[in-house]
A and B are shown apart, each in its own frame.
Chain A
Amino acid sequence: MVQAVKNSWATFKSIFTGMGITGRHLVGPTVTLQYPEERATLPKNARARLFVNMDDCIGCTLCAKACPVNCIDIETVPTTADVDLGKTSTGNPKRFWLTRFNIDMAKCMYCDLCVHPCPTNCIYMEQEYEYSEYDRSNLLYKFSQLSPVEVDDVKAKAEAEAIQKQKEKEEKARQKAEEARLKKEQEAAEKARAADDGTGAVPAADAAKAAGTAAPDAADAARVAGTAAKPAPGSPSKQDDTQNPSKGEA
């Protein structure tokens, strides 16, 4: 009996304690945010949509290398000598055309790792978090400021310059080879003259002939190397295409 009274007392006490707590919450403030009408203020370091300030991008691709999920896809083309892209707001010279700078936000996992390597602080996370799309391909953000025509133009120019440079290189190599041949001939001639004083002119002429056949071989080798190097500027883009098939849909 005493135990029953005690139990009843404890029960009533706990019921009223509980109802006191719920009663306080009943009149207390609510925590609900009426989302579309009200929005939470995000903390300063909130991670949301990525944004690239292309005016400051120098095309170093550090962000793409840092990305653990490979959602950043960058293609750069070196500038030709007649173009000056100027400097970024941080003073770094810009030496590359950014023909492609795609970020696939469908892949992005908001790790923030791409933000910190950037030397010019041009890639960062915005406060914008409402960018859902019905089509996943719409989440592929393209930051490159060049139109396809400009991209082709820039690439063609860069390639032309590369060929030009290659030619210059070959020319230099050829000249070098020529100089070397001349030098050798001279040396041979000197040797022959020295030998002439003693034995005869026949071995000297042999030596000169040998030097003359050797020089064109060297020039040929240089030319072969040049043709092998020529398609090099175009090849990285092809590789990128195979790596990232979504580029075609975009």
Chain B
Amino acid sequence: MNETLSSMPFLPALLLHAAIPLTIILVYALVAIWAERKVAGFIQDRLGPMRVGGWHGWAQSIADLLKLIQKEDIIPADASRFWFKFAPFMMFAASYAAFAVIPFSSGYIGSMVNIGVFYLLAVTSVLTLSVIMGGWASNNKWSLLGAMRSAAQMVSYEVPTIATVLTVVLVAGSLNLMEITELQSGNDTLGFLPNWLIFQNPFLITAFIMFFISILAESHRVPFDLPESESELVAGYQTEYSGMRWAMFMLAEYADMLLLSLLGATLFFGGWNSPFGDFLAGPFWGFFWFMLKGLVLVFVMMWIRWTLPRYRVDQLMAICWNILIPLSFVNLVLAALWEMIF
């Protein structure tokens, strides 16, 4: 009897707890897609969407969503039906699952596990799998080519991502993202700078640059958007998808972008810590600062998207294997030496 009583409020509480990142992802995706189009517009001296909803077309994404819901769910005749249908959900599930270990504020983290960073990197590998699943199940050569490129790219770039994250873990001495964030509280560096890890060790600055390049590739953003490359592969592995299944891919992609940006904000820029020490601190302000840091990185990703052209596959691989991987490991060793000496 005691068990039932205590489990009754537990389940709704659990669902609510789990739904918080989902809400954040969904709202973020709506805003980010609109913002991406506005950024694209302004960079090209256009206005972007202006019609729906009044002020600067803010409801454009909602209108697009309604349109996508109404669309026919087309499945190619020769596709593997089950895997074709399953891939987008699996991709989003992987992105969503990774949010469990992101500390959104000092008062909220999905799961306080001690292997947070490890779990996050492991779960995001499933993204590769779902991309291949979607591409292969489509039974379309462009889809398959896109999926293959994507697999090669994501597997390759996981190495420098992990190496740079490892550098942070080495400095912080923890795999728990909440602990890593708490470590960065205070404003003591050089007397005025916040205790963010990026200011703690010069090799973490280079680590961040490499990390940022790697997450651009991991989340399929320009200049490493070869899996989609809408101008040559007709959106790659998404070619055969339509309606809400395509929207799930899109959502997962934007969620992935936010996830990696938030990871970057946690690892290098103090997570939910206020840049002004105790000023404007607290759980709610913490959430604000954390999202702000993440969204600034997302904005930089968008900015890069509308600036740089796309790399070729061989260039992409050369950057990863010839430059990023050796450099990131050298950087790891140098950061470790710096920690030993100072």
Contact = CB atoms under 8 A, between A and B. Distances in A.
A32 B45 CA distance: 7
A34 B50 contact: yes
A221 B39 CA distance: 89
A25 B306 CA distance: 11
Contact of B45 (A18, A23, A29): A29
A30 B303 contact: no
B26 interface: no
A216 B216 CA distance: 109
Nearest to A34: B50
What band does the interface of chain A fall in when counting residues whose beta carbon is under 8 Å from B? 10 to 19
Interface in B157-190: none
B49 to A, nearest CB: 11
A173 to B, nearest CB: 78
Given A15-B308, A18-B307, A19-B307, A26 B42 contact: yes
Contacts of B44: 25
Contacts of B41: 30, 32
B323 interface: yes
Contact of B47 (A19, A27, A32): A32
Contacts of B306: 22
B270 to A, nearest CB: 24
Contacts of B323: 4, 8
Contacts of B39: 26
Contacts of B46: 30-32
Interface of B: 39, 41-47, 50, 303-304, 306-308, 323
Interface of A: 4, 8, 15, 18-19, 21-23, 25-32, 34
Given A28-B45, A29-B45, A30-B45, 16 more contacts: A4-B323, A8-B323, A19-B303, A19-B304, A19-B307, A22-B43, A22-B306, A25-B43, A25-B45, A26-B303, A30-B42, A30-B46, A30-B47, A32-B45, A32-B47, A34-B47
Closest 6 CB pairs of A and B: A32-B47, A22-B307, A18-B307, A22-B43, A26-B42, A31-B45
